[in-house]
Every structure is written in C-alpha cells, then in structure tokens.
Amino acid sequence: MCGRKYASEELTWAEYREALDITGTPPNTNFQPNYNIAPTHVMPVAVHESTQHVLRPMMWGLVPTWAKDATRSYNMINARAETLEEKPSFKNLLKSCRCAVLVSGFYEWKRDGKTKQAYRIERADGEPMILAGLWAENGYLETTTYSIITTNATPAFGPIHNRLPAILERDQVATWLHGQWSHAKSMTEPYSGDLDVKPVGNAVGNVRNNYAELLEVKN
C-alpha cells in the first residue's frame, strides 16, 4: 500500500516539466514542498490532453465517475495492478484515464509486533519518483481525483511491506499516459531498480505534521 507521499523543495515547475515532458502551461499551483502528502490532499498530476502532457490539480483518493458521494475515496487511494481489469471503478479508466504523479519519495511502515517503524523510500539514483496512476472526473460531484497503482513488492523491499507503488521511468511516461493499454500494462510490474530505504521518526504518522524534519533519518 502507498498511503503517504512527499514532494520536497527540489520539485519545482522545471522538475515537473522535465520528468513528465510537460508542454502545457503551468497550472495555478505554487509548487510548495509538501513533506506529508496524505489522502484528500490536492496535488499536480500529469495527464495527456490533445497532443500534450499537462498538469491538473487532483485530489488523492479516486471518486468513480458514477459515484454520488465521495465517502469511498479514502478507500481508493490505491489500485491493485493485478485486478485493474476486473474492478468496475478502474477498468473503464485504463484506456484513456491514466496519469503520472511526480514525488520525491513515499513513506511506508514496517510492523514489528504491536509497533510500527516509518521509513522514507526514494530512488537509489536520486532521481524523482514517477508513480503510475488512474484518474477520474466526476461531473455530479465536480471532483477530479486519482489513485496510485500498486504492485507486489520486490524481494528486497518485502521485509518492509508486501506492496509497492508502480514506478515509471521517464522514457515510459508517454506510453503510460496515452499509449495502447496492451503496451502500458507491462509498466505495472514490480519496480526493477534499486530503492533507498531509511528509517524516520513516527511523527509522519500524524497527517497534521508537515515539515522538513520529517525526512530526517532516525538513528
């Protein structure tokens, strides 16, 4: 499960443009760092419109196009790759409602008996992390929302958690956003690159906490 993300001060408009090949104009977003992105937060998300990639502000927690209320959105922050083609909320989005979310990394918790230890996870090469997702526009509720796709964890990450977000490479973004689903589907396989996993303080577990010190490594 991917239940928290963070976008640090390095993620400027230029970073979004380069990583996601954004050719549209910047959205009305200030690109301030967010060190504890939680469900219901609104973030800039990349989609394909006409002939270009653009950023649109979206709330994390997918509200299906047919929903009459948003009460299920918190339960739809993630979409399991293995069942995308089966779930009514996701299967109709696979053709033309795929999105990409740029973050510095994400948080995950490892359970040890009754206690949990928080970790921050980043790409080992220091590049921003591009997460594959699905998005939906609900006209009845006037909401635009998204969900992050998750896959089975790699053997190396397994001791922390059994799920990982689907992580894209930069040269995969165009195919993911507007290529044929038969080609994009393989991009929901477990990430093959190396991840940097470091323990942090459990203050990140409180969604009201949002400051740079959350990323400090715990000894």
Contacts of 18 (CB under 8 A, 6+ apart): none
Rounded to whole angstroms, the Cα distance separating 111 from 163 reads 13
Q: How many helices (H) and strands (E) does the chain have?
A: 4, 13
**Does 197 reside within a domain?**
no
Host domain of residue 88: 4-105+129-191
147's tokens:
């969900």
Q: Could you read off the pLDDT tens digit of each residue along the chain, which spans 219 residues? A: 566 667 765 677 888 899 999 986 666 666 678 899 999 999 899 999 989 999 999 999 999 988 888 776 667 999 999 999 999 889 999 999 999 999 999 999 998 888 899 999 999 999 999 999 999 999 989 999 999 999 999 888 999 999 999 999 999 999 999 999 999 999 999 998 999 999 999 999 999 999 999 999 987
Rounded to whole angstroms, the Cα distance separating 60 from 47 reads 15
Residue 113 Cα distances to 40, 110, 116, 197, angstroms: 29, 10, 8, 20
Q: Residue 15: which CATH number? A: 3.90.1680.10
**Does 116 reside within a domain?**
no
**Does 46 reside within a domain?**
yes
Which parts of 139-206 are beta strand (E)?
143-152, 163-165, 167-168, 195-200
Helix (H, G, I), strand (E, B) or coil at 170: helix
**Does 36 reside within a domain?**
yes
Catalytic residues: 2, 108
**Does 138 reside within a domain?**
yes
Residue 195 has what pLDDT?
95
Nearest C-alpha neighbor of 102 from the set 68, 129, 78, 141: 129
In the chain, the number of structural domains is: 1
